[in-house]
Amino acid sequence: MPTTFRIWRGDATKGEFKDYTAEAGEGMVVLDAVHQIQATQAPDLACRWNCKAGKCGSCSAEINGMPKLMCMTRLDDLPPGETVIVEPMQAFPLVKDLVTDVSWNYEVKKRIKPFRPRKPDNADGTWKMAQEDADRVQEFRKCIECFLCQDVCHVLRDHHKHPEFIGPRFLVHVAQLEMNPLDTEDRIPELKEKQGIGYCNITKCCTKVCPEHITITDNAIIPLKERVVDQYYDPVMKLIQLVFKPRKKDELAETKPS
């Protein structure tokens, strides 16, 4: 079935939507259509991809206004017969067509204190860890760094707080480090003072777009906010604690040896 794709073409200086027609075959995803258009009509159409199976997080874009992986968006899940609109992520500077400059994210990662394990438990340099403890951290470590959550978060997308707020992706990263039972580092002061966790007002948009189904807000951000509240005052968190029954006082902190 011939389908129309309205794709953003252009660079940082100028650009416009252009319409292309691609043949939509069974099981096809948006990335297939983009490749078809590249091979037959627009060889210089820029997009990123690697795995074509939702594992690398390269092919992030906005499809009909929703932040998505192009390789995991099937055409038969989109409204039949309608034009498919494909545009680059909005929260980052445009390089060209569907490619954006995501280098800011790599800079943010460098600023977060790295993993610092306690002394090994065993003589051969290994540790003991229960699967339940691993589970909690593994949820966050599923992150494929597609940056779709960064793209959708209004603090970055609309308010451009990039210098002050690390965004949901890196709150997940901090959570994974903080909740690793072997880790001994304290990242809470920076979280409040330099990484802007207070900007997050728990809209949960990030959780909704995460292709790895990481429960970013409930499992990562709220527990981190709770830890911050222990040390500082956070108005949003205060409200949440008043409205909802407070969670059992950080059960996670207990797994961490002092």
Partner 1 sequence: MPVEYQTHEHDVIVIGAGGAGLRAAIEASASGASVGLVCKSLLGKAHTVMAEGGIAAALANVDNRDNWKVHFADTMRGGQYVNNWRMAELHAREAPDRVRELEKWGAVFDRTPDGKILQRNFGGHKYPRLAHVGDRTGLELIRTLQDHGVHQGINVYMERTVIRLLKDGDRIAGALAYDRERGRWTVFRAKAIVLATGGIGKAYKITSNSWEYTGDGHTLAYDAGAELIDMEFVQFHPTGMVWPPSVRGILVTEGVRGEGGVLRNSKGDRFMFGDIPENYKPQTAKDQEEGFRYVLGDKEANRPPELLTRDHVARCIVREVREGRGSPHGGVFLELQTFAEWFGKKNPKFNAAEHWKKKLPSMYHQFKELGGLDITKEAMEVGPTTHYMMGGVRVDSDSQMSRIPGLFACGECAAGINGANRLGGNSLSDLLVLGKRAGEFAAEYAKKQNASGAIHADQVDGAAKTALEPFDRATSESPFKVQEDLQEMMQDLVGIVRKEDEMVRALAGLKELRARAAKIQVTGNREYNPGWHTAMDLHNLLTVSEAVALAAIQRKESRGAQFRDDYPKKDNAKFGKVNSIIAKGANGEMQIKLEQLAPMPQELKDAIMAEGGGVLPDELK
At 89, which amino acid appears? M
> Is there binding between residue 214 and ligand FES (CB under 6 A)?
no
Residue of 1, 4, 23, 53 that binds partner 1 (CB under 8 A)? 53
Q: What is the DSSP string of 67-78?
A: EEEGGG-BGGGS
Dist CA 84 CA 119 (whole Å): 54
Site for partner 1 in 192-211 (CB under 8 A): none
At 21, which amino acid appears? T
* Residue carrying the six token digits 């760094």: 145
Min separation Cβ 169 and ligand SF4, Å: 4
Residue 155 interacting entry, from ligand SF4, ligand FES, partner 1, none, C-beta within 5 to 8 Å by type: ligand SF4
* Residue carrying the six token digits 């939702």: 54
What tokens were used for 160?
């451009």
What tokens were used for 46?
């820029």
Min separation Cβ 222 and ligand SF4, Å: 9
> Is there binding between residue 204 and ligand SF4 (CB under 6 A)?
yes
What tokens were used for 51?
């795995």
| Spatial CA neighbour of 46 closest among 91, 87, 84 | 87
Dist CA 178 CA 173 (whole Å): 9
At 91, which amino acid appears? A
Residue placing its CB nearer to partner 1 in the complex, 60 or 198: 60
Dist CA 228 CA 235 (whole Å): 11
Q: Give the binding-site size for ligand SF4 (rule: CB under 6 A).
A: 29
Residue 94 interacting entry, from partner 1, ligand SF4, ligand FES, none, C-beta within 5 to 8 Å by type: none
Min separation Cβ 88 and ligand SF4, Å: 16
Residue placing its CB nearer to partner 1 in the complex, 88 or 198: 88
Min separation Cβ 67 and ligand SF4, Å: 8
What tokens were used for 166?
């690390």
Site for ligand FES in 50-89 (CB under 6 A): 50-52, 54-59, 69, 71
> Is there binding between residue 201 and ligand SF4 (CB under 6 A)?
yes
Q: Site map for partner 1, 75-114, x if CB under 8 A? A: --------------------xxx-x--xx--x--xx---x
> Is there binding between residue 217 and ligand SF4 (CB under 6 A)?
yes
Dist CA 178 CA 185 (whole Å): 7
